[in-house]
Amino acid sequence: MDSKPEVRAAGAVVWRREDGGPRFAVIHRPRYDDWSLTKGKLDAGEDYEAAARREVQEEIGVTGTLGAELPSTSYRDNKGRDKLVRYWLMEAGEVAFEPNDEVDEVRWMAGPEALDALSYDRDRAVLEAAIGVVRSAGEARRGGERSKTA
């Protein structure tokens, strides 16, 4: 892929805290009949971070703050165009999902189940990185809590 992709897109690995550990949003896109992560093309004049936040809100009704940037993916889309997708981690704030033309279902899954559900290896690599960041943050937080009580 050349240095300037024809299609620029952004998305996020969205997660939330639940009893039993973090759960990650995996979306079903009826147009492609696949399971993927939230993402979409940048609008004219839009930067990657703004596009990531907008796409998450439009596709699954989640608002939140972008966290760590995750690995990007580069591939040829179904029209043969070079595509770059940049991803961030986002902890879900308010969730107000309603099925729509782009996404008809969102499932909140533990890491291993989410990895199995995804249709594409490139999405699995991004999710694996996100799981690592969330796990490291949780371990750091628990370590801090132990030192306060010791």
Domain 7-149: CATH class, spelled out: alpha beta
For the segment 4-56, what is each residue's pLDDT rounded down to a tens digit?
899 999 999 999 999 999 999 999 999 999 999 999 999 999 999 999 999 99
Question: By C-alpha distance, which of 23, 73, 22 is closest to 48?
Answer: 73
Q: How confident is the model at residue 145 (pLDDT cuts 50, 70, 90)?
A: low
Q: Which residues have CB under 8 Å from 46's CB, separation 6+?
A: 54
What is the distance between the alpha carbons of residues 113 and 24, in angstroms, rounded to a whole number? 9
pTM: 0.90
> How do the domains of the chain map onto residue ranges?
7-149
